[in-house]
Amino acid sequence: MLKKYAGESEEKNKLADSMKKLARLNEVSFDDHLDHKIITKIGRYSEVKSTLEYKNEEGISTNSMSFLHERKDRVQSFINNITTEDNKKKLSEYASDLESLNKSNKKLININELERYLLNAVNDINLKISNLNLSEDIPLVDNSSFDAQQTKIALIKSTVSEDIATSSQSVQDVRSRFEIYKGDLSTLLEDFKDYQSELDSINSKILEMQMFSTELGSIELDIFGAGSDSSSLLDKMEEDYKEQASNLAKSWSDFKDISLRTDFNDTQKKLMGSMLEDLDAEIVIDFNPEAFYDKVSDCIDGSKWRIKNNNEAKAENFGISDFSSFFDFLRSNFKDMYDRDGIHQNVLKDICFKDFHRRDYIKIYPVLKYKNKDLNKVSAGQKGTVYLKMKLATSAFSKPIIFDQPEDDLDNGFIVEDLIELFKELKKYRQVIIVTHNANLVVNADAEQVIVATNDHGKLSYISGSLEDSTINSEICKILEGGDRAFNNRRSKYQNVK
């Protein structure tokens, strides 16, 4: 088992993962609520920016302020040129009457829709009640339930109808305002009406784009925080990672603090402390540039930007190499990169802001250490030692302990100096079973029962007994390395060793 975790093969990362599970360290995960907020906000950022930067089939930015004001000036010029100065005031009054009439008509349409909605609501409610009344007795809803609303609606309709009548009369009386006009009045009024309608539409569009522009500025402030004293979403995102690391560090600290273990007696606490004293952990927030730039390939149009498959070139352009520079990029350069030709905007947005993608290149984990050395830089034997200490520290007093040839994967100094004494103490609380060829483990750990296996041409047989048993002693001396020499230091205790 130790070899599975302590080896130098492709399984080497299993040791750290297994030790995290043994220590029951908190699983790190990004705040779901914050992630939802970020995704919602950055999604809206994309929508608003797309609207403001929209281009038609001819590549014209029809929502830009310059384009809209140019259209407005042109239409206003047409209006100014279709009549004389004397008639402009009259046309202005006509335009005002038309605008009032249009507003009143829209208001009447809306209030009529509300009136129908209330009536339909009563009918729908009563239908549901009627269906339910097959088994229950629920009174129907009377139309009078909305008397207050209907009274108000009637009053509004009356007022709006009067406004419509007044505006309609003003529009109909327009000819009297042009008594001395010698041209085609119908054509003049129709042209003016069309131009004025277009001008109103342009003004409405300008107001809409101004609102979008204001919203975009507010969103950018919320996300990127430029010039803001309050925490931006990027600040909170970065802080969330640091908080995860802090929580993981506390989880490790609590694991090592034996004084917190109320289920141990003093002797057990002392034993547990000896197993953990050489172990420590440094919590790191790891940014993997290769994993990040592999993802970035998906947001680059290779026909326009010829660095799609060159991570080194991508690194030069993005300037991201670690966790800190990643957030520097988001705050200072993301918007520029987002607007660059050859960048698929939505893909870049998802890669940088969706936790689903970020978890592939930003990870938080403990770098485990043994005697102040990074566990990834110690020998396989020392790794095995660390794993065994962790295993014992988490289950020494609760489960039987079984080891298959621990000497194959453990540091020899640990076996001689620590493991034997550990086994002697642990066997007071739990059964310890060892398969081994190491005399020190069998003899010096005071094995209570020894089982000797024999393989005779594929046929297995077993004998068992205590160390004091002469037959067992004889077999042990044949099998264990070192022979009689392994027993010399115990001669006073055991008899008939030869």
Task: Return d(Cα 243, Cα 26) in angstroms, integer.
Answer: 12
pLDDT in tens, 373-391: 887 777 777 777 777 777 7
Residues 77-88, mean pLDDT to the nearest whole number? 74
For residues 84 and 69, which has the higher predicted lDDT (pLDDT)? 69
Report the b/e string of 264-280 with b at 16+ CB within 10 A.
beeebeebbebbbebbb
- Contact predicate 250/219, CB 8 Å: no
Q: First vs last Cα of the chain: how many Å apart? A: 35
Task: Return d(Cα 348, Cα 254) in angstroms, integer.
Answer: 40
User: Which pLDDT value is given to residue 205?
Assistant: 95
Task: Return d(Cα 484, Cα 469) in angstroms, integer.
Answer: 15
User: Which pLDDT value is given to residue 439?
Assistant: 65
Residues 135-143, mean pLDDT to the nearest whole number? 70
Query: What residue segments make up the domains of the chain, in order of their start?
Result: 15-50+231-369, 65-224, 376-488
pLDDT in tens, 306-317: 887 888 899 999
Residues 320-349, mean pLDDT to the nearest whole number? 94
- Contact predicate 383/6, CB 8 Å: yes
Neighbours of 215 (CB within 10 A): 16
> Which of 175-179, 213-217, 331-335, 459-463 shows the lowest mean pLDDT across its residues?
175-179
Residues 31-44, mean pLDDT to the nearest whole number? 93
Query: Beta 401-404 vs 432-435: how paired, if at all?
Result: parallel
For residues 146 and 340, which has the higher predicted lDDT (pLDDT)? 340
Residue 398 is given by DSSP the state: T
CATH topology of domain 376-488: Rossmann fold (3.40.50)
Residue 130, φ and ψ in degrees, nearest 5: -60, -40
Describe the strand order of the beta sheet including 279-287 as a list of residue ranges.
279-287, 362-370, 373-374
Task: Return d(Cα 201, Cα 207) in angstroms, integer.
Answer: 10
Map tokens 């009024």 to a residue. 189
Task: Return d(Cα 287, Cα 266) in angstroms, integer.
Answer: 42
Query: What are 281's two structure tokens?
Result: 């952990």
Name, in order, each residue with C-beta under 8 angstroms of 81's C-beta and a sequence gap of 6 or more: none
Separation in Å, CA 180 to CA 82, 83, 335: 16, 13, 60
Q: Which amino acid is at 368?
A: L
